[in-house]
Chains A and B, each alone.
Chain A
Amino acid sequence: MTRLTKALAAAFTASCMAAAPALATDSDPSLTGTVYFMLPNFTTVRFVQKDGPDFVAAMKKYAPNVKVELVNGESNPGEQQAQAEAAITGGAKAIVLTAADPSLASSILFAADKAKVPLIAYEHEASGGPLTYYTGFGALKAGQAQGKNAVAALSDGNATPVARLYGNTGDFWQRATKQGQDEMLDPLIKAGKIKIVCEDYVPNWNPSEAQRIIEQCLTKTNGAISAIVASNDGTAEGALAALVSQGLAGKVKILGGCDANVTTLQNILLGLQNGTVLKDYSTLADDAARLVVAALQNKKPEDGVVNGEFDNGFAKVPASFADVTMIDKSNVGDVVKAGVWSWKDICAGPAAKTPECAAHASD
C-alpha cells in the first residue's frame, strides 16, 4: 500500500467517523415482522404529520425488513384498546403507544405484557401498567425552558403583574410543565419581582378557553397585566386573541409557549409573542426506533439512548428524554433546519413582510 492510499484510507475513515452520529444503531436486516405505532388522535396534528412518518423512516434505517403499521385511536381510549388487541392478535413484534388518554392506557399495557409484546410509551405518559421503555421530550424540560424564557424577560421587574395559563387539569404534560416553570419562577415570586395576578387551567388546552380566561384576567385587573406565561402555543394564541380584541397586542408580553406551531412562529416574527419551545419530532422518532430495535434484538439499548427514569405509577421505567430548544425571533431558522416547517409554511400572511422572511423569500 502506498503512502498515498494509506493517507486516503485514513482520511476516509476519519471523515466517516466524523460524519457518523454519536450513536450508531447498525441496520439489522435479520429483524422481521410488524411493529405498530399507535397514534392518539387526529387533532394534535404533529402525530399524524410528523411523528408517524419520522418513525417509519427511522425504522427503515435500523430494521429495513420490519413493517410499520400506523393506527390512530381517534381520541377514543376504547377504540385504541380494540386496536391494541387487534395488533397483539395480529402478531405484533412491538407496540409504540401514544395513549389517546394517558390515564386510561393500563389495560393496553397489561395486554401487551401478557402477550410478551414489548411496549414503548411515546410522548404521552401511559400510566398504571408495565412498560418496556418510555420516550418523550420531557415535559419537565419544556417547563424549565418556558420558565427560563419568562425569567429572562421579567427578572428586573418590581411586582410585575403576570398571568399564568396552565394546561389541562391533571394531565401529565400539565403537571410536569408547571413543575418546570415553578422551579424557575418561584424565586422571582419570592423576591417580589413578579406577582401572579391570575392563574388557571385551560380545559383540553383549548385556545378558545384560554382566550376567555385571559379576557377575564383583564377584567379582574382592569387591563393591568404585563406578561402572560403560557404552557403551550395553542393557549398562547388564545391569549393573544384576547389581547388583540382589547388593543393590547404587543403591549403585554406573551412568554413560554411550546410546540412551534406555525401561527405562533408567525406571531414571534411579528413581535407579538416572545418565543416557543421546539420539539424536534424526528429526534424522538429516532429514539423510539432505537428502543424498538433493542427490544426486538432482546438487547440493552446502546449507551446514551436511555438517559433517565420515568415513573408511570406502576414501575420506574427506563426512559429516553429528548432535548428541547428555545426558539425566539433570532433562531426561527432552527425550526426549518429541524425539518419541522419550511420558510414557505412560516412566511405567510402578515409575517411574510418581516425581515426574517424577506431574507428567506427565495428558500
Chain B
Amino acid sequence: MSAEQVSGLSPSGRAPLVSRAAALLAGDWRYVPIATAIVLIWAFFALQNPAYLTPRNLSNLCLQSVVTGLLALGLVPVLLVGQIDMSVAAMSAVAATITGQLLLVERVSVWLAIAAGVLFGGCVGFLQARWITWTGTPAFLVTFGVSLALAALQLHLLPVTGQINLYGTDIVVLAGAYLPAGLSWALVIFAVLAFAAFRLSAFVESRDAGLEASVRSVVLPTFLVMVGLAVVVGALNMHNGVPIALLLFVVPIIVLVYIGSHTKFGLYLYATGGNPSAVARAGIDVDRIRIAAFVICGMFAAFGGIVGASRLLGVSAQSSGMGTLLLEAITAAVVGGTSLFGGRGSPWSALFGALAITSISNGIDLLGLGTEVKLATQGLVLVLATSVDSVANKFANDAR
C-alpha cells in the first residue's frame, strides 16, 4: 500500500493531530523535513564560515553529492520493493575498473566503455536478484557476499600497477565539464515550461474527473520551481557553470519519478513493497518486479562508480568503493525519505538525501574538524534517519 493511500485513512478520533501531521508529511509536505534539515545545516556551517555559501562551494557540493546520489538513486527502487542491496559500493568500483580498462587497454570508445560498465552492473543486479527470489535467501546476505566477490574481481581486473590513470582521457568530461551559461538558462526555461505543462494537465484531469482542484496547484509550485532553479543555476554560473555531472544525476531522477508515478511498472514497484501478498494475489509476478528493481540498482551503482572515477581521474582498490560510500548511499536514500520497510519513497529522496549528508561532510571538511567528527556525524545521521523512518513506519502501521 503506498504512502498516499495510507494518508487517506483517518483513524477514528484517536491522536488526530499526529495522524494529520503524518498524513501531510506522507503527502504534499513530504520534502519539508529534509528541506528544513538542509537549510539548517547550511545556516549552521555558513555561520561558522561564510565561504560555505559561496558559488564555488555550491559547485563543490553538487559534484561531491553526485556519486553518493547516483548510488542512492539506484537503491530507491530496491528499497521500495522492501529489499536492500549491500553491493552497490563494490559494484561501483568494479564498473569503474571495467570502463577504465576498456578505455585505456582495449582503446574502445568512451561511450562503449561506459555502456559496458553499466551493462555489467545490470547483469550482476539481475543475477543477484534471480538468486534471492529463487532461493529466498535474505537480500542483505546475498548482496553482502556478492560485494566481497566484486571486491576480489576488482583486484583481479586492475593492472599490475594497481591503478588506472584517467587523466587526459575523454571520460573526465563526465565529472569535469560544465554547461555554457546560455545553454543552462535555456534548460531552465524548458524545465519550468515542462513542469507547468505537467501540472496543468494534472489539474485539467482532476477537474474533468470532477475532483476538487484549484489553479493554485499549478501556479504556486511552478513559481517555486522557477525561483529555485534560477537561484541554483545563477549561483553555479557565477563559478564554473552547471556541472554536466549534475544533469547526469537529475535527469535520471526525473525519468524514474515519471516511471514511478505514470506507469504500471511504477505502480507495481510501490505496491510490491507495501503489500507483496496482495500484489501476488492480483496476478502480478512479484519476483519480476523485484528483479527489475535490482537491475536498475546495479546499473545506477555502476554508473555512479564511473562518474566517480571520472571525478577522481582514476581507479584504484584504495579509492574506489571504499570507506563509507555504501553507508553514505543508504543513509542518503533514507534521509531523503525512502523507507527501509518498502513501499514508501521517491527518487527525489536520493537528491535531497545526498545533498543533506554531503552538505555535512562538505562543511566538516571546510572547517577542518578531522576524522573523528566526520565518522561520528556520519554514524549518528544514519542512526537518526533510520530511527525516524522506523517510527514513521510504526505510525503508518498503527494507522492501518
Contact = CB atoms under 8 A, between A and B. Distances in A.
Interface of A: 42-46, 49, 168-169, 198-201, 203-209, 211-213, 215-216, 218-220, 222-223, 234, 237-238, 240-241, 244-247, 261-263, 266-267, 270, 272, 341, 345, 348-350
Nearest to B366: A216
Contacts of B161: 45, 261-263, 341, 345
Given A216-B366, A348-B104, A237 B176 contact: no
Nearest to A346: B161
Given A348-B104, A349-B169, A350-B168, A206 B322 contact: yes
Most buried by A among B168, B361, B365, B375: B365
Interface of B: 49, 51-52, 54, 56-57, 60, 63-64, 104, 155, 158, 160-163, 165, 167-169, 172, 175-176, 240, 308, 311-314, 316-319, 322-323, 361-362, 365-366, 368, 370-372, 374-375
B243 to A, nearest CB: 9
State the majority secondary structure of interface residues on A. helix
A282 to B, nearest CB: 16
B322 A219 contact: no
A212 B68 CA distance: 13
Given A218-B56, A262-B162, A272-B167, 12 more contacts: A45-B161, A198-B368, A201-B371, A206-B319, A209-B323, A212-B361, A215-B365, A216-B60, A219-B51, A222-B51, A244-B167, A267-B167
23 contacts: A44-B318, A45-B161, A45-B317, A169-B371, A199-B368, A200-B370, A203-B374, A206-B319, A208-B322, A215-B64, A216-B366, A219-B54, A219-B56, A219-B57, A237-B312, A237-B313, A238-B319, A245-B63, A245-B175, A261-B161, A262-B162, A263-B316, A345-B161
B104 A206 contact: no
Contacts of A49: 160, 162
A25 B169 CA distance: 49
Contacts of A341: 161
Given A43-B317, A208-B308, A348-B104, A263 B371 contact: no
Nearest to A198: B368
Nearest to A205: B318
Contacts of A212: 60, 64, 361-362, 365
Contacts of B317: 42-43, 45
Contacts, number: 137
Contact of B312 (A43, A238, A272): A238
A222 B372 contact: no
Contacts of B160: 45, 49, 345
Contact of B371 (A43, A203, A237): A203
Contacts of A272: 167
Given A211-B312, A219-B60, A349 B104 contact: yes
Nearest to B368: A200
Nearest to A219: B57
A240 B381 CA distance: 30
A349 B168 contact: yes
**Which of B57, B165, B311, B372 has the largest number of chain A CB atoms within 10 A?**
B165
A207 B167 contact: no
Closest 4 CB pairs of A and B: A45-B162, A350-B168, A216-B365, A262-B161
Nearest to A262: B161
